[in-house]
A and B are shown apart, each in its own frame.
Chain A
């Protein structure tokens, strides 16, 4: 998400609790006053938001599924324009909704931060929700006499740089949306950042937040975006100035990334940092941004490319082709570029040495 000119005007926090020993819901604690951060603290708060939702973050765009009158989306839609006094009260409804959604006793308590502001030149409104779990840490205390440092135990800290300990969701008002439309998806672009979403086994752990609480679902465009990611990345690799065997390795990596990797979200930055060197990472990020791929993450859906992912093909100029299931291609075929005979130009021709780690079983 492009968070240019992020401006935050209201921040209010409430407290939610873990279910008690009998599994009963504990009523959230309401705060009545807004939080006013000093400039340095505000900068850090913005940093957390940018890390969670901004460019090259792990946030994914989702779709509003639940649009009931009692849904969070509906609550956002009518509370965003409220005055400060009314909003302070209605913001508590978010905490209540979250508390209601935390059905399992395993879900920890924490604080809910509700904040509003604007982004971009035309100051489009947004509303964000962070659920931050508290954890314990130490604070360095300096002795004013000796200057020595000792550690003081702090039982509850939150919003530390570790994103594992908070979940963030935001509703961004779309520019020029149709005021007549009844579908809240036409008015709001919604993003969720939750480290558990991307994990194979994390979906269930994340579901209470994005589905039960927020009423979101995975967007239907995922398959299209995934295909675009696959196509553009292949184009980028083909145009790289590296030898063909290196390109083959990159394409194998892309296939693995989309087909084998268990993460349910993908992103340009994630793929690049796993497989490319520093300069190529920057170049790739720019290329994909220009190609219109999301700069944050998105959910993976390989429906449109599953057949392409099954087989890897390599073609040579004189109608020679090697094709293999992508897993076998990666493990059993190795290719390297070698100098061949001296060609017409007086320089060695480029040949390819192929090793297939198997015997021939059939010839036609």
Chain B
């Protein structure tokens, strides 16, 4: 293929590549939202696709000393690309799963840092996860025909891996002059440090987010009881974790059953919540069920160790007719 032919092909296909990049990003974002993630929080860099500039494409196809293609047009698979940058190694897994599960495309898992580590255990270099996605069936998006031949490269990496890539991509790989060994060494050292730090980040996140409350799924189960009894979707806030943390010794596999049986036995509670829903934020959260149950069954403990202002409990105690007096 001559440079001219390459250019003609590209002029013809460019819009289809652009459209396919858009579909890929939108699909992954939709799935992330379904998994309960807020895009703004979960992705550390706003997700978007990018079509390669014409010059850099031709440069890559015909003027790279280290690469020679027999069929450059089809062999260059990153003509359109999208990048997802997350905080933690374990977050990568979520996007990885989304890509592998989707029925929209076929995927070619062409790079994964875990496999790189297996293959080259002594090497500390660029880490990322790359997929090449092609439509399973031809699509028509906005009048643009996307054939099953059109690839899109997706890169997924942590914020720290991304920082490394940003530094090395332009400064090292595209360096005009030969790079000194000491610079390579320093870059490799920083990758080793990044891998170590990513590991620590994961460990910290694990220790913060994994305890009996998470393992037993207490909050989501309370939410489910709230919904099934009141028919209202709860809006439970993080303060429930402070409460559960304070009463840690109550958190075990019988807690939810005990609360559920109390709520089922006391249908008035669902009615009270429905009636007082707009009275205060507490009634909108499944936390209220835990508190009613504690007022009824663990009152002594609740009153002795309640981490917030006790006046919050007064309306709840009044709702179920439990005296909060301490003077026995």
Contacts and interface: CB of A to CB of B under 8 A. Distances in A.
Interface in A199-238: none
A121 B319 contact: no
B301 A50 contact: no
A88 interface: no
Interface stretch (B4-12, B150-158, B211-219, B264-272): B264-272
Interface string B285-328: 00000000000111111001000000000110111111111011
Contact of B299 (A120, A121, A161, A285): A285
Contacts of B271: 5, 121
Contacts of B301: 278-279, 282
A47 interface: yes
B319 A51 contact: no
Given A5-B268, A57-B325, A270-B328, A47 B318 contact: yes
B323 A121 contact: no
B315 A43 contact: yes
Please report whether the interface of chain B is mostly helix, strand, loop or mixed according to DSSP.
helix
A285 B297 contact: yes
A163 B323 CA distance: 12
Contacts, number: 83
A273 B303 CA distance: 13
A4 B319 contact: yes
Given A5-B272, A6-B321, A267-B328, A47 B300 contact: no
Interface string A270-294: 1011100011011001100000000
Contacts of A274: 328
Given A56-B323, A57-B323, A273-B328, A286 B300 contact: no
Contacts of A47: 314, 317-318, 324
A169 interface: no
Most buried by B among A1, A5, A53, A272: A5
Interface string B252-277: 00000000000000111101100000
A50 B325 CA distance: 10
Contacts of B325: 51, 56-57, 161, 163
Interface of B: 266-269, 271-272, 296-301, 304, 314-315, 317-325, 327-328
Interface of A: 1-6, 43, 46-47, 50-57, 119-121, 161, 163, 267, 269-270, 272-274, 278-279, 281-282, 285-286
Which 10 A-B pairs rank lowest in CB-CB distance, beginning with the nearest?
A3-B321, A54-B321, A273-B328, A4-B268, A281-B300, A46-B318, A57-B323, A55-B322, A51-B323, A282-B298
